[in-house]
Structure 1
Amino acid sequence: MTMSRHTLTASNGATFVLRTFDPQVAPAAVVIVPSAMGVAQAYYQRFAEWLSAQGFAVITFDYRGIGLSAPPSLRGYDATIFDWARDCEAAIDFADQRHRDIPLHWIGHSLGGQLLGLIRNRDRIQRVMTVATGNGYWLENSWPTKRAVWWLWFVAVPLATRIAGYFPGKRLRKVGNLPLGVIRQWRRWCLNPEYVVGVEGREVREQYSSVRQPMMSVSFTDDEMMSERSIRSLHRLYSNASVEFQRIAPRDIGVSRIGHFGFFRPQFESTLWPLVSQWLADR
């Protein structure tokens, strides 16, 4: 496996950092792994290395303003979630240039699975797996998050952004540092029962309904953020896609905890990760 780092230019001249994980053999397919909200691509490195060892070319990246793509300060930094969708498009174009003749697949963690409807060149993608991807509407969150998230949306975000000029999530131990435009847009989505389409309107709703790639949703009964109801709500936006749901309880694989972030942790290399290689190979 060979890992390389690349700096890409997306919309408005903004740059972001992408990493490739190339197998030692000719890859069977290329897999893009877009991150969850506020999560740096480094979190997915071990998973990307493992998937590359299975014979897939893998791409991870940091949305502008996150991880390796973050400026020295987010104060005054201009970025929205729509801009992050443009970063996804640039990553797809990059993958297409390097691996034009092999299939391209999408394994999106949380937000990474939500963004698909906003990506204009998504037709290049053949198959999609969403991991712990729900709609984010605060009254459909799992109970551990629901009982505290009102403080985030109605107190922490308005006050912290006014003072800092961005969302200082690391300091508050919530989500992570986020650009002002991102947190404000995400707040509007999370306060609307229809999430992104309820805020952004008919055109965006139609974009989601135009997604037709076969899709698998992998979710977990002990997810502290996304309830089963929120998982189903989000995937209903992909109304013309064939969606297969796989809901996993920790006891199914002999552990006590998986949670919202657990799937990509190395401890699940022998239990959860093979679901991905099997899903890619069987279809």
Structure 2
Amino acid sequence: MTTTQQDVAISCPDNISISGTIYHSSLPLKGAVMIAPATGIKQVFYAKFAMFLAQQGFGVITYDNRGIGKSLTGNIKKSSASLQCWGQQDQTAVLDRLMSEFPSTSYHLVGHSAGGQLVGLMPNSHNLTSIFNFACSSGCLKNMHFPYAFKAQFFMNLFIPASNLIFGHAKSQWVGMGEPLPKQVAKQWQHWCNGQGYVKTAFGKTIFEHHYDELDVPSLWLNAEDDDIANNTNVADMISVFTKAKHRAQTQVLSPESYNVEDIGHMKFFSSQRKQLWPIAINWLAKHS
């Protein structure tokens, strides 16, 4: 069995090009998976997990959202990227590319945080066979617990506005929150986390068409006991936005002790040091392929 990976340029509906990587396996194809990243997280973070999926016989695509990593062109201050266009444009294009690369199979979204939040903005989301989300929640600030709630309020409502004002973008890397963020990404992130239902706060304001009420596929929502952001209340808040799919949504809370690891948190499911968690994804994908 061999696996290969290929860097590709993915053309979005608005003619913006973003960077992606496609993983092929020599095994018979079981299905195809797009790994949708968390806010400000580069695709390289998911590379070992993507390779693991390919080694199990799945075709896989990873990508950098516009304004992030290899998809950042020019000065970040001039980037017009937003969370909204990440869902409407970038994720839509990635699924189209996955389907053209791996025709006539089942298609799955593995969403990490924002990657799962934004799926209802994709006009082609009806082509998905299943959704597997980790640490995907509304991120509602008022549902977070102290002392983390204090840090979250500081980051969202003080650091982001000040950084946008001073630098023309959010220097999230200064506080360990991923890559530098384009101004509109950070601004929407702040606004959406200050309301209920995350993206729902923009319905009828900046978002006039969406598919959260139409999407009807099985989904598994994993979160970790030690995740201060995607706590159980915020996961339930995000699931409630999917008015049809919520009836088919399954949830699972991961305990670090159950897997003999020190922590899982918001990020570490995809770490190669937490490989013992990865069969959860394989079992889900195999069941729905």
What is the TM-score of this pair, normalised by structure 2?
0.93
* Number of the residue aligned with 2:211: 207
Residue of structure 2 in register with 1:18 after alignment: 20
Mapping of residues 146-161 of structure 1, within 5 Å? 146-161=149-164
For structure 2, the 5+ residue unaligned runs are none
Match of 1:28 in 2: 30
Letter in 2 for 1:211: L
**Residues 9 and 16 in structure 1, CA contact (< 8 A), matched pair in contact too:** yes
Q: Aligned equivalents of 2:4 and 2:71: distance in 1?
A: 21
Amino acid at match of 1:73: N
Q: Secondary structure at the match of 1:192?
A: coil
1:264 corresponds to which residue? 270
8 A contact 1:5–1:18 mirrored in 2: yes
Deviation at 1:279, TM superposition (A): 1.2
Q: Deviations over 1:162-213 (max 9, x none)?
A: 1111111123433431111111111111111232212323976962121101
Unmatched tracts of structure 1, length 5 or more: none
Aligned amino acid, residue 278 of structure 1: N
| Contact 2:39/2:113 (8 A) holds in 1 | yes
* Distance of 1:234 and 1:142 partners within structure 2: 17
Paired with 2:147 and 2:121, the residues of 1 have a C-alpha distance of 29
Pick aligned residue for 1:6 from 5, 8, 26: 8
Cα distance between partner residues in 2 of 1:175 and 1:142:
22
The CA deviation string for residues 205-257 of structure 1, in whole angstroms up to 9 with x for no partner, is 96212110100111111113221100111011112110011111111112221
Matching residue's letter, 1:275 = I
Amino acid at match of 2:280: L
Separation (CA, whole Å) in 1 of partners of 2:109 and 2:177? 26
User: What residue is the counterpart of 2:100 in the other structure?
Assistant: 97
4+ residue segments displaced more than 2 Å: 141-145, 171-176, 198-207
Q: Deviations over 1:36-73 (max 9, x none)?
A: 00000000000001110001011100000111111242
Q: Per the alignment, in what secondary structure is the counterpart of residue 137 of structure 2?
A: coil
The answer on whether the counterparts of 2:92 and 2:122 sit within 8 Å (CA) in structure 1 is yes
Q: Do 2:39 and 2:178's aligned partners in 1 also have CA atoms closer than 8 Å?
A: yes
Report the counterpart of residue 162 of structure 1 in structure 2: 165
| Identity over aligned pairs, percent | 26
**Distance (Å, rounded) in 2 between the aligned partners of 1:115 and 1:40:** 17
* Distance in 2 of aligned mates of 1:135 and 1:49: 29
Partner of 1:280: 285
Aligned to 2:189: 186
Which range moves more in the overlay, 108-117 or 8-17? 8-17
In the alignment, what sits opposite 1:233?
Answer: 237
Q: 1:68 and 2:73 equivalent?
A: no
- 1:198 aligned counterpart, secondary structure: helix
CA contact (8 A) 1:192 1:198 kept: yes
Q: Distance in 2 between matches of 1:60 and 1:179?
A: 20
SS in 2 for 1:75: helix
Q: Normalization by structure 1: what TM-score? A: 0.95
Shift, 1:281, TM fit: 1.7
Alignment size in residue pairs: 282
Secondary structure (helix, strand or coil) at the match of 1:13 reads coil
